[in-house]
Each structure stands twice: as structure tokens, then as C-alpha cells.
Amino acid sequence: MSQFVDECQLNVRGGDGGAGCVSFRREGPVVNGGPNGGDGGKGGDVWLVADHNVASLLAFRDHPHRRATSGVHGKGKDLHGRRGEDLIVTVPEGTIVSDMYTGELLAELNRHGDRYQGAAGGRGGRGNAKFLSNHRRAPTFAEQGEYGEERWLKLELKLMADVALVGFPNVGKSTLISVISAAKPKIADYPFTTLVPNLGVVRVDDETEFVVADVPGLIEGASEGRGLGHQFLRHVERARVMAVLVDLAALDGVDPAEQHRVLLHELGEYRPELLERPRLIVGTKADVVSNEVADAFLAAHPVDSYVVSAVTRDGLAPMVGAMARKVHEARTARPDEDGVVLLRPEATGAIVTREEDGSFRVSGRDVERVVALNDVTTPEALNYIGFRLQRLGVNKLLAKAGARDGDVVWIAEFSFDYRED
């Protein structure tokens, strides 16, 4: 089925974690009765969620940045900070998520409810109460909050039509879609101007939008393959709503009633279930016919019929409103399915690489977290960092990589001189 691609860039950032608190109980004359600093709250995550009520990526064109809220700092008396709220970013069904810089495919959100964690929130820092041990009776340090993850994503959408405009060649479909959306199709007065569908996003208000497809013109016998029949009819299979367009001026010698009969016949012959789709009938080119012709058309089709002129724009607002209502009803009538939740597993372990200047760099989520969360300005916190790095096996990795006394070692933005055990 033909599609058109809508693309945008999206910057997502998880909330920062709250800092842990350094605090001690005060019991009467005892100033430091024991540590009771609470933990900071975790930062909120950013989730991309497929929603069948969203039709395009237009919302990100002018506002590409999305950020979750940060966690609250911990307090004394073992009061933990509140975690930041997750941010839900709704995208249309069929959205493909990839890394903007590497092009790596990250997720395909094809069904309503599919979720992908675009950016993780930072971990909250632990308060000094968490560092109490037999060897550390009065810890005077706490962890800082971790920064939330930030990344640029590329969103790509292969749009399917909510509304299919069906009609004979030169009935005015391309002109109509050009005035109710931002689409700029090729328009000319000869058969089969449109050889592939033109799609446009119709935005009614900030919360209502839908996709309209200008399906290439059908002719009698299309269901049997005449013209480009099967190729054309494939474009309407997944449309939620049909808009049957008839030429009130009958410029090709086929009166509106016969056009309507032929179009429904071809749809039914190709896929009988297409006749069960919600539909409306639209009489076009009202600006070149008399009021009597328009009134006769409406009388012949008393339900869900509209007379419009794409040139003068008469009747367009009621027709667009009817399309929006039918699309909304069709979307809500769909049975809910369980969505898929996509998480990115965190890499574990550490890697040691040698830089061009002879220094060593230790990379890895766990070791970088040790440095990022702790206060490197206090001796007690530095001792704890050394203890944690040793437990993670960093000293052995550096020795295996050939590090010698005095070599500079980098972990993120933190550096220290290596000392052999």
C-alpha cells in the first residue's frame, strides 16, 4: 500500500535525580546521634507511546524538546525526596524511532499502546543514612543525584489514510485535498493526473487531526483490473472512512447518480467489507451548477451528504466536521489491544581504553555512576569511590591494560593518578 513519510527530530531528556541528604539525629545533648539523611527521588522517564488518536508528527515541528520532571532532594529525619513524574509523549501508530546520529533502529510503535522508553531518568542519590556501617559510624557524605539521560531521536511515520477520497478522474479530489490540508498535489484537467495517492493532514484544532488520502481516480471496471484498478483500490483498504465524491456538473457525461452507483459497485466487487465502512457522499463543483441541481442531490442522499466547492470553499467546514466525527467514532470503536513495552537494557561491566596521550579511560555505566553520584571534593567520599571501584574490578582491569604508577586515569570528567596495589 502506498504511504508517505512524515519525519521529525525529537530531543528527549529524563529528569535529574534528587540529591541525597547529609543529616544527623539530635537527641538532647547528643549532637550527632546517628545519620538520618534521606534519599533523593529518581528523575522521571520519557516514554513514547503510540496513540490512535494522533495522526501526524506536526506537534514536534516547532517544539522538538521534551523533558521529564526531576526528582526532589532528600531531607533529614529519613525523609526521601519525591520521584519525578514520567513524561508520556504520544505519537501516531506506525512511528519508527531511530537514533538521529547513528541511524540505529530503536523501536517500531505499530499498535495503539506500544511504548518505548526514549530517555531514562537519573537515579536519586542515597542519603548518608545508607552509608552507615561498622567501619563508618558517622558518614558525612551523601550521593548527588544522577543527571537524566538526554538524546536526539529521529521519528519517521508511514502514514495511512483515515479518510479515503474516492471518485472518478477529474472529480476534484486533488483540489479538495489541497484546500483542506497543506498537501500540494499536482492538479490538471486530464485523466489520471494522480498516479499515486496524495496524503494530507487535516488539523481541525489542537487535539483533532486526521489524514486524508486523495486516491487515484477510479473508472468502471476497476475491480476487474481496468485502467490501474487494482493498484488504485489497494489504497482504500486500510482507510477508516470513505468519502465518495461525485461531480455535480457531470462534465464527462455521467450524471451524479450513475457515478455514485458505479463507485459503490466497484468498491463492493473489490472488497465487499469496504461497503460497511463509515462513509459520506460529497457533491463537488457546486460553484458551476444551479441551486436546483445541488438541492436535488441532497434530496436523493438525505443522510451524510454534502455539497461543496473547493474553489469558493462553500460547504467545506460542515464536510470536514463530519469527517472528523466519523474518524473519531471509527478510532474509538476499535477493540483495545495490549500494547508492547520496549525497554533498553542497561549495559553492565567496564571497558578500559588507552588514549593517544598515554592516559587510560574507564567506560561503563556502573563505574561512571560511582563518580557521577558521589562528591569528589570530600576525603571520605573519595575513599568510598575508591572502595566501590575496587569492588567493580577497575584496578584489575587497569593492571591488565598495562597501567603503571603515576598514569592518569579518566572516568567521565573525573581523573586520578593510578597506584598499583
The CATH number covering residue 75 comes to: 2.70.210.12
For residue 349, the model assigns a pLDDT of: 66
Q: What is the CATH number of the domain that holds 189?
A: 3.40.50.300
| Domain-terminating residue out of 159, 181, 204 | 159
- Residue 224 pLDDT grade (very low, low, confident, very high; cuts 50, 70, 90): very low
Lowest mean pLDDT among 73-87, 129-143, 327-341: 327-341
Cα separation of the two ends of the chain:
66
Q: Would you say residue 356 lies in a domain?
A: yes
Asked if residues 156 and 9 have their Cβ atoms less than 8 Å apart, the reply is no
Percent of the chain beyond pLDDT 70?
A: 82
For residue 155, the model assigns a pLDDT of: 92
For residue 331, the model assigns a pLDDT of: 81
Residue 186 shares a structural domain with residue 108: no
Cα 44 from Cα 47, distance rounded (Å): 10
Residue 317 shares a structural domain with residue 364: no
Residue 83 shares a structural domain with residue 151: yes
Residue 325 shares a structural domain with residue 188: yes
Residue 25 shares a structural domain with residue 151: yes
Q: Would you say residue 28 lies in a domain?
A: yes
Region 84-102 average pLDDT: 91
Residue 321 shares a structural domain with residue 202: yes
Pairing, β 87-91 against β 163-167? unpaired
| Domain-terminating residue out of 333, 368, 396 | 333
E-strand stretches of 78-114: 87-91, 95-99, 105-109
Q: Would you say residue 339 lies in a domain?
A: no
- Cell representation of residue 61: 515541528
Q: Would you say residue 170 lies in a domain?
A: yes
Out of 1-10, 83-92, 171-180, 347-356, the most confident range is 83-92
Q: Would you say residue 342 lies in a domain?
A: no
Residue 280 shares a structural domain with residue 182: yes
Residue 126 shares a structural domain with residue 180: no
Residue 147 shares a structural domain with residue 168: no
For residue 45, the model assigns a pLDDT of: 94
For residue 3, the model assigns a pLDDT of: 45
Nearest to residue 126, comparing CAs of 35, 38, 42? Answer: 38
Q: Would you say residue 270 lies in a domain?
A: yes
Residue 132 shares a structural domain with residue 215: no
Q: CA-CA distances (angstroms) from residue 133 to 26, 280, 293?
A: 19, 74, 91
| Domain-terminating residue out of 132, 159, 186 | 159
Of residues 152 and 376, which shows the higher confidence score?
A: 152
Residue 231: is its pLDDT beyond 60? no
Q: Would you say residue 413 lies in a domain?
A: yes
Residue 268 shares a structural domain with residue 313: yes
For residue 190, the model assigns a pLDDT of: 44
What is the tally of structural domains in the chain? Answer: 3
Ramachandran region, residue 34 (left: φ > 0; alpha: ψ -120 to 50; beta: rest): left
Following CA atoms 246, 252, 258, 259 in sequence, which dihedral angle do they give, to the nearest 10 degrees? -30
Residue 383 shares a structural domain with residue 320: no
Domain extent at residue 81: 4-159
Asked if residues 13 and 66 have their Cβ atoms less than 8 Å apart, the reply is yes
